[in-house]
Amino acid sequence: MFMPELPEVENVKNGLKDLVLNRKIEAVTVLWDNIIKDPADGTFQSTISGQRIESIERRGKFLLFILDTHVLISHLRMEGKFRVEEASKPLTKHTHVIFRLDTGEELRYLDVRKFGRMSLVEKDNLLSHPSLSTLGPEPVAEALSVQWLSQFLNTRKRSVKSCLLDQKMVAGIGNIYADEILFASKIHPERAGESLSPAEIKALHGSIIDIMQKAVRAGGTTIRTYSNAHGKGGNYQQNLTVYGKTGKLCVNCQTPISKIKVAQRGTHYCPTCQI
């Protein structure tokens, strides 16, 4: 199972900015209703039509299209993709939402699994929207403090892996980067959040910021089908140390990497380095 995490969504955002920034959306066609989470009153298409794409932002794993009066929140979930194509180009069968632009091109949302979701909210209500209101800080030094991590982890009996996947603690981390962060911090993924020492929380904090920043710079990790709107993937897969490396030798100690289930997710770690 692969879901785009913060670095991949950041890359998608940057690709889209090059292609559709300042374009006006003239019309919207929804071919698969379930992709639209809200508003549920059928005004999604009519509200967007005529609005300009003022900017494109990201919060956690959510893409935010800032329009004139509203914000389109898009979560790609497992297989969601945006493509910009000439309107004359035939649609593939996995195209579910089409935004016709004033250039004559179309911004097309494709999703093989149909798990992705879009919400349209008024600008003033963006931060109180349920998708964003409970998100924790972004994994950057300016937003994420050691104190916040300590406060969160000190009251959690569940595993540190599960806490890293919890978007309330830090926004944007998923299965790949959680495993990489725990390896870099030398912390066993099954350790209870509350069992971490102050030194371990400090190491975890440093690894979260370091790994997410490097992954953003690399354009994310390309596994299976992920790519941005230019069809370009990232290259962080070259830096992976434990994720997908079951049975390969640890880069630090040559112990074979193990795979177990933690928080219902396949979890990769070094049994010698991570205690």
Q: Would you name the residues annotated as active-site residues?
A: 4-5, 61, 265
Rounded least distance, CB 269 to Zn ion, Å: 9
Closest to Zn ion by CB, 39 vs 244, is: 244
Do 171 and 6 touch, CB atoms closer than 8 A? yes
The DSSP string of 42-100 is S-HHHHHTT-B--EEEEETTEEEEE-SSEEEEEE-TTTEEEEEEETTSPPPTTEEEEEE
Count of residues that bind Zn ion according to CB under 5 A: 7
Angle, in degrees to the nearest 10, between helices 175-185 and 198-217 = 130
Closest to Zn ion by CB, 87 vs 251, is: 251
Rounded least distance, CB 252 to Zn ion, Å: 4
Rounded least distance, CB 260 to Zn ion, Å: 15
Rounded least distance, CB 203 to Zn ion, Å: 15
The CA–CA distances, whole Å, from 211 to 113, 144, 206 equal 29, 14, 8
Do 267 and 189 touch, CB atoms closer than 8 A? yes
Restricting to residues 216-275, which ones interact with Zn ion according to CB under 5 A? 250, 252-253, 255, 270, 272-273
Do 171 and 188 touch, CB atoms closer than 8 A? no
Phi, psi at 48, each rounded to 5° = -75, -35
Closest to Zn ion by CB, 175 vs 258, is: 258
Closest to Zn ion by CB, 76 vs 257, is: 257
Closest to Zn ion by CB, 107 vs 270, is: 270
Rounded least distance, CB 158 to Zn ion, Å: 24
Residue that the structure tokens 């074979």 belong to = 256
Rounded least distance, CB 273 to Zn ion, Å: 3
Closest to Zn ion by CB, 212 vs 273, is: 273
Do 71 and 121 touch, CB atoms closer than 8 A? yes
In sequence order, the β-bridge partners of residue 110 are 81, 95
CB atoms within 10 A of CB 231: 9
CA–chain centroid gap for 188, Å, is: 24
Q: Which residue is nearest to Zn ion (CB)?
A: 250
Nearest CA among 119, 92, 120 for reference residue 108? 92
Q: Which residues of the chain form contacts with Zn ion (CB under 5 A)?
A: 250, 252-253, 255, 270, 272-273
